[in-house]
Structure formats: structure tokens, C-alpha cells
Amino acid sequence: MKFARTFEALVLAAALHALPAMAQTGLPAQCDNGKFLRDRLELQQSGPTGIDLPEHVCGIVAHVTWRARHSHSGVHGYFDLTIGQGQTIRIVSDLDRMNAPAWPWVQVGDKVEVAGRYYYDSNRSQGIDWTHHGTGRKWGMPGYVIVNGATYQ
């Protein structure tokens, strides 16, 4: 039993080392909440790795932070998306870089599709960001948010 757990840990560690290469292949073409939930579980079990993953999720807005917040990287809007199985994820939108109306442009109950970068620093610090058309030195894939059929990049 102890050997099996050690072997599983080694397999997981090897898979996590391969993830940065996988992240360069691009965002999933369609919503894949199952992939996101598997990725989240793997990162929760392994702990913070510094690995960011491309994700494409769909769900219903559960909570909106009504005031945009200023951070070192600009002005951001935040909302929580319910993606099934009792799971939610924080969505971060860089309002300085997005082509969108004044914040908030989402409401509780809206149907939303999000493509972006999943970061996991801890159970309390995780979310999907890079939900805009831009790319950066550490993230080369543009993202987007679709709210009730309207696309914001």
C-alpha cells in the first residue's frame, strides 16, 4: 500500500513537470469543466507548483464584486462562476485591457463562458485570469469572457 502511494506520487510529479509544455498547446476549443476540475484536484493534492494551465469553462455567475479593484497590474473586475458539482472559481478580468463596458458587466445568474489561465497558489488564492485578448511574457494565449452571448476580450 505504501509503495502504491509513493508510485502514484511519482507519476503525479512527472505529469506536473510536463504541464508547462502542455500549457503552450493552447486553450481547449470548447468548455471543458471536467478538465478544469481534474486539473484543480491535481494541483490541490500536489500543492502550489507555480504551474499555470489553460482552461475553458462554462457556468453561472454566483457572485460579483461590484467595485473594480486597483492592483499593481491595473484595474480588475472579479466574479465567481459556478461550474457544477458544487464547485466555483474566481474569474479575474483585466478591465484596462478588455474591450468591455463599464464594470460590472456581469450579474448573478448570467450564463458565462471563460477562456484563460488557471493559477493555483493555494486553496484561498486561485482563479482564472488572462481573460482578455492580450498576451504576456509568461502567458502567450489570449482569453475571453462570453456573457449571455456577448463576447468581451
pLDDT digits (tens, 9 = 90+) for 45-60: 988 888 889 999 999 9
Query: Any idea which residue has 458544487 for its cell?
Result: 86
Contact (CB, 8 A) for 149 and 34: no
Q: What does the pLDDT read at residue 131?
A: 87
Low-confidence residues in the chain, pLDDT < 70:
1-25
Q: What does the pLDDT read at residue 132?
A: 84
Distances (CA, A) of 147 to 30, 108, 121, 134: 15, 11, 27, 19
Q: What does the pLDDT read at residue 99?
A: 84
- Rounded CA gap, 143 and 38, in Å? 20
Measured in Å, how far apart are the chain's first and last C-alpha atoms? Answer: 49
- Rounded CA gap, 60 and 68, in Å? 20
Classify the C-alpha dihedral 77-74-56-47 as positive or negative. Answer: negative
Q: What does the pLDDT read at residue 72?
A: 84
Q: What does the pLDDT read at residue 142?
A: 84
Distances (CA, A) of 108 to 7, 29, 66, 97: 44, 25, 11, 23
Q: What does the pLDDT read at residue 90?
A: 97
Contact (CB, 8 A) for 144 and 112: no
pTM of the model: 0.79
Q: What does the pLDDT read at residue 116?
A: 94
CATH 3.40.50.1220 fits 2-152, yes or no: no
Q: What does the pLDDT read at residue 47?
A: 83
